[in-house]
Structure 1
Amino acid sequence: MKEKVSRLASSSSGIAVSMAVMNVSTYGFVIIASPLLGTEGFGALAASLNVMLVISVGALGLQATAARRISAEPDHVAQIQRSILRVTSVAAMSLGLVMLVLSPLIQRLLNLDQIGAAVIIAICAVPMTITGGLAGILQGERRWAPLGMLYVASGVPRLLIGGAFIAWRPTEFWSLVGVGVSFWAPVLVGLWALRHDRLAGPVSARHSGRSMFKESVLNGQALFAFFALSSVDIILARNVMSEHDAGLYAGGLILTKAMLFLPQFVVIVAFPSMATGGERRKALTVSLGLVATLGAVGTAASWFLSGIAIHFVGGAEYVEVEPKLWIFAVLGTLLSMIQLLVYSVLARQGTGSVYLVWLALATLVGVGLTTDSVMGLATTVVIVDLCLLAVLLAVAAWFLRDDAPVAERSTSALV
């Protein structure tokens, strides 16, 4: 039995289990927070968590850089690890300071009760960024067991520590303090997993700190566009709706985030293959099919079992949004497929496709500001995301039609 568990943890299937634990734990935290904070308090927490999701692009940019480079050139793992850890340390402190300076703006943008909540968001940027660099090294090496432990540590402590803080002090400030404390758990796990020094290997100017930083910035801005697209609607809701309706919309987004992060393991496992020439088309096709299937099942469940699903959104206080839950499930599925396509762009180091995400974001903000209801905003977001998905699918199909490294080198600067 012990041997079977060990094999599972060391396989890609173990990542699925670990990320399921992380997502269930994160979802459990939201379920605890929703009724205890009420619609107004939870709306503020949801908006804050969405901002954290957006600023996590620094971490995800570092993770994608480390994972892509190690997958593509495993002989240089020692140099890549040293470089990425140096860049990660500098990036974490820099991002934390920038967010601290911007904390008054964050408070006003999110309509938070006090500046302290915005300061906590800034502090959280530090462990989040460090975690990204550590996870990227483990992902690139396909060390699924320690990477799985890191993901478990990203979820379970949030449920336990964050839930305890909310039970003690059910306010937006203390809920964010609990989340901030829990963010240090995956940092400790990652540092432990990488505690042994790597043997010296080949050194190349391609993997210098400067090169790592440049690629991480490019990856980060691409992911920033995606996470801004996936998070801007709650900010719009808090500015065009009443606090009650914005809270209802935030409740519906609980299901959206669940559908977005449920197939997250697919992205993690597929990305190293998408970064390897000859495997990209198959990896992307299979992954898209799996994500779409999971999304279809989740959407059907939210339609036929809406009475049960509403309890996972927040219970009776959110019953007004129950008939619309299937729309939020569709939205989560669309975002999950778009995310996979964005990572396929990062894997081949394309750039042009990212502008499409920025265009969709601008369109969503412009049209979203004209809405004033939960249904109106949700429908607008679904239409914009559906159009973006169709265009990205067309671009991916064209680019990967031959799945040839030579073609990639000649066109990667364009798409």
Structure 2
Amino acid sequence: MTLAGVRGPRVAAALVPGAFLAANALSYALLLAAAHRMPAAAYGELSSLLGLLLVATIPMLALQTVAARRVAVDGGEAGIVAGTVRIGLAATGAILLASPALAAFLHLHDVVGVVMVAATALPLGVIGAASGLAQGRRQYRRLALLLLVGTGGRSLGGVVAVLLFGTPDATLAGIAVGTVAAAAGIALDRARTRPPQDGAAARGVVVEAAHAAHAHGLFLLLTSMDVLLARHALPSAQAGVYAVGAVATRAALWLPQSVLLLLFASLAQQHSRRAAGRRATAVVLGSALLAVAGTALLGPLVVGAIGGARYHELDPVVWLWTLLGALLAILQLAVLAGLARGSRRRAALLWAVLGGYLVVVVGVGGVDTPRRLVLALVGVVGVAAVVSLWLVLREPAALATAVADDTAAGDDTAADDDTAADDDTADTRDAASR
């Protein structure tokens, strides 16, 4: 096994974290360009539309999860294209129907920005499904390229629009153009393979994607809930202090993401999921230790980089926000491992944490400073993180033993199937099992 838990080349696997960082750098470039180019009111409008765009990515994440699991388990992709089209059109229609209400709720002067968000739903689904197929087949060069073209392309379109026009609606239009262009290129590339279509399989994809969307949507809500609760429980100035600390939470949460992308296929396969769960746990715990220790040692430097001299009251305690993000990353690992196995139950963990948040903040109260609030939230997520580790590591030894005799033969069969299905691309030759 390689470091990524697969037998593909290390170099190909190493491209994914690089592409992940580059794509996220473009996303941050969009925010920075908008912050410098737009007045405060316009930037606030753009932020609300980008929040809506984040919600619109949930079907994309769900389709990526479903496609990766299905091709990792049985190598087939029947129904994925048709299912992607159905989900994408449904998401587009839902946003368009809700656009007047959304524009009013967000205090927008028209529905143009919301319509631009709707225009991204189907192409985002195409990007997600294609990324999932590459992820499940361990075609890591292709996955890295899709990360750059998909996530990076839409952010680049937004950056260009910000620099040229400097308005929220134009920025969303640029994002939509970049997303559509990326999806069109992916669709044209995939068209030559003509994957098999099956109505029943497509319905299965839609049902499974709905459950995955439930889990992904809950987790996205959970990653924003602490800031919303800070706004509810703290005075405005103190809520702003909490929000600065929350930047460290986000960084710690997303630090191990690219490695989890690499391990998802192994988490889905019965013969490798136990070892993959251990590797994933080691990666998440290792990144958590480094992030928390680094933040504790370099608190003033971290706070200065995030918010400047105005927030140096966070210097000795900013590591608590990093710890919260690290615990959320452990929770996310358990949910992703469950989705890889086809389990629909682990979303209950997310509901439990959300309920715990509300109980300690709204019910119990007493969280009248940023430090007290983050400590309360760390306590809630800490309990869930312990349960999460047990769920990821509890793969019965008997199951591993039962499949051990079949592993070598199964690996050879999988290698033959992957090579036969994909020997027309150099990416697959690099990523297929030998």
The 1-side partners of 2:69 and 2:24 are apart by 24
> How many residues end up aligned between the 2 structures?
392
Larger Rg: 2
The 2-side partners of 1:40 and 1:384 are apart by 36
1:318/1:92 CA distance change after superposition, 3 Å: farther
Secondary structure of the residue aligned to 2:346 is helix
CA RMSD of aligned residues (A): 3.6
Secondary structure of the residue aligned to 2:394 is helix
What pairs up with 1:315-326 in 2 under 5 angstroms? 315=308, 324-326=317-319
Secondary structure of the residue aligned to 1:352 is coil
Residue 70 of structure 1 aligns with which residue? 71
Residue 17 of structure 2 aligns with which residue? 16
What TM-score, normalized by structure 1, do the two folds share? 0.79
| 128-137 or 9-18, larger mean C-alpha shift | 9-18
The 2-side partners of 1:113 and 1:376 are apart by 35
| 53-62 or 190-199, larger mean C-alpha shift | 190-199
Residue 61 of structure 1 aligns with which residue? 62
Is 1:102–2:98 an aligned residue pair?
A: yes
The 2-side partners of 1:365 and 1:70 are apart by 39
Residue 184 of structure 1 aligns with which residue? 180
1:90 aligns with one of 68, 83, 86:
86
Residue 255 of structure 1 aligns with which residue? 248
Contact 1:334 1:386 in 2 (8 A): yes
Amino acid at match of 1:209: A
What pairs up with 1:2-401 in 2 under 5 angstroms? 11-33=12-34, 48-74=49-75, 76-77=76-77, 80=78, 83-103=79-99, 106=102, 111-114=106-109, 116=111, 117-167=113-163, 175-198=171-194, 208-239=201-232, 246-310=239-303, 312-315=305-308, 324-369=317-362, 373-401=369-397
Q: CA deviation at 1:272?
A: 0.6
Contact 1:72 1:276 in 2 (8 A): yes
Amino acid at match of 2:324: L
Contact 1:9 1:15 in 2 (8 A): no
The 2-side partners of 1:51 and 1:332 are apart by 22
Q: CA deviation at 1:237?
A: 4.2
The 2-side partners of 1:58 and 1:353 are apart by 18
| 63-72 or 97-106, larger mean C-alpha shift | 97-106
Residue 432 of structure 2 aligns with which residue? none
| 268-277 or 238-247, larger mean C-alpha shift | 238-247
The 2-side partners of 1:255 and 1:178 are apart by 29
Q: CA deviation at 1:128?
A: 2.4
Q: CA deviation at 1:11?
A: 1.9
What TM-score, normalized by structure 2, do the two folds share? 0.76
